[in-house]
């Protein structure tokens, strides 16, 4: 229990810092949106550019792990979006809901847990999972969200508008530009690397503080059925996704034990702040996503600890 608890304590500390700052009126009502804008336009793009620019192709090209981790994440995302659309939820909000069930907190929890449990090889695998989560799953989520916002467009016009929106989105553009370096073999200058690490390092803390600011605000009474929906989302993230990953990694792809267990462990991580950040940035309903992020992080202390006990 101690290892997951020590890993998750800084996460709660940052959320609590934002909550306390809002309650004490140290940060005003606009701070949540402004912090999220910083993450979207500066912090997260710098992090994504740095991750892709400094990645070694031979370390990240592990197709078995990519399939074992990526397919369940995309499947849970897609099924959630489809079910929410069938219930009458707008496509843009359904995209955020899908990310809430498939977007793992690889940054704050994945790296320290993987290092402690699996050593250096765990770090390399977590980097792959981070790239899949942020550069693939997140990009798909943004594309679906943008599609939902293009009311009245059809066919080629719809595709054109979405592509233009994506090309203007720094979260999508940054990793595409960063890929130039590993593809060409050109080294990222040291000064640029240090700048990106300083700026990108602020992305996750700011997103967590913003979450705390949001939770401290008065959002009124939760809509009817929202708690039940949050519980379903949390079950999908903490149970369904890792079970699917286990089936694919162990039974179907028959990956070596360390690689398979690392894929399952990262899939079992709670929802990261990415979906909440998108909800706030696009002015969509964010209370449900915030609840899923917070509660899934708490519950994951039990589920991750149980899994670590099983594999050790």
pLDDT at 312: 72
Count of CA atoms in the C-beta half-sphere (13 A) of 117: 30
pLDDT band at 114; cut points 50, 70, 90 = confident
Cα-Cα-Cα-Cα torsion 114, 119, 124, 126, nearest 10 degrees, comes to 0
pLDDT band at 31; cut points 50, 70, 90 = very high
pLDDT band at 29; cut points 50, 70, 90 = confident
Share of the chain above pLDDT 90, in %: 53
Count of CA atoms in the C-beta half-sphere (13 A) of 154: 1
pLDDT at 220 over 60: no
pLDDT band at 127; cut points 50, 70, 90 = confident
Share of the chain above pLDDT 70, in %: 95
- Segment 29-52 shows an average pLDDT of 89
pTM metric for this prediction: 0.88
CA distances from 163 to 150, 167, 177 (A): 11, 6, 16
Cα-Cα-Cα-Cα torsion 229, 234, 240, 241, nearest 10 degrees, comes to 120
181 burial via Cβ count (<10 Å: 0-12, 13-18, 19+)? middle
CA–CA dist 128, 118 (Å, integer): 15
More reliable by pLDDT, 154 or 30: 30
Lowest mean pLDDT among 9-13, 163-167, 225-229: 163-167
230 burial via Cβ count (<10 Å: 0-12, 13-18, 19+)? buried
pLDDT at 16 over 80: yes
pLDDT at 153: 62
pLDDT at 2 over 90: no
Sign of CA dihedral 65, 4, 233, 221: negative
- Segment 301-309 shows an average pLDDT of 87
pLDDT at 6: 73
pLDDT at 299: 92
pLDDT at 3: 67
Mean pLDDT estimate for the chain: 89
Cβ atoms within 10 Å of 207's Cβ, excluding its own: 28
Count of CA atoms in the C-beta half-sphere (13 A) of 51: 28
- Segment 200-204 shows an average pLDDT of 88
- Segment 281-309 shows an average pLDDT of 90
pLDDT band at 222; cut points 50, 70, 90 = low
């Amino acid at each position: 229990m101690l290892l997951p608890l020590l890993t998750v304590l800084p996460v709660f500390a940052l959320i609590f810092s934002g909550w306390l700052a809002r309650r004490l009126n140290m940060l005003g009502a606009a701070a949540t949106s402004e912090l999220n804008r910083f993450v979207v336009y500066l912090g997260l793009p710098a992090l994504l550019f740095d991750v892709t620019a400094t990645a070694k192709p031979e370390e990240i090209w592990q197709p078995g792990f990519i399939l074992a981790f990526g397919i369940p994440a995309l499947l849970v995302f897609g099924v959630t979006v489809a079910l929410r659309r069938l219930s009458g939820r707008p496509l843009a909000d359904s995209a955020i809901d899908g990310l809430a069930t498939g977007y793992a907190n690889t940054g704050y929890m994945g790296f320290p847990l993987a290092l402690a449990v699996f050593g250096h090889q765990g770090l390399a695998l977590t980097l792959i999972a981070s790239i899949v989560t942020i550069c693939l799953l997140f990009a798909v989520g943004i594309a679906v969200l943008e599609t939902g916002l293009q009311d009245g467009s059809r066919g080629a016009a719809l595709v054109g508008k979405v592509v233009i929106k994506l090309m203007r989105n720094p979260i999508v553009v940054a990793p595409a530009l960063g890929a130039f370096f590993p593809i060409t073999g050109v080294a990222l200058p040291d000064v640029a690397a240090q700048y990106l690490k300083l700026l990108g390092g602020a992305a996750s803390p700011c997103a967590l503080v913003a979450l705390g600011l949001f939770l401290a605000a008065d959002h009124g009474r939760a809509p009817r059925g929202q708690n039940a929906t949050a519980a379903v989302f949390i079950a999908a993230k903490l149970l369904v996704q890792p079970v699917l990953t286990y089936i694919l990694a162990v039974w179907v792809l028959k990956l070596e034990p360390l690689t398979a267990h690392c894929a399952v462990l990262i899939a079992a991580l709670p929802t990261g702040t990415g979906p909440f950040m998108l909800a706030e940035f696009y002015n969509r309903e964010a209370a449900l996503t915030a609840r899923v992020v917070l509660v899934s992080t708490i519950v994951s202390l039990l589920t991750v600890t149980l899994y670590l006990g099983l594999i050790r």
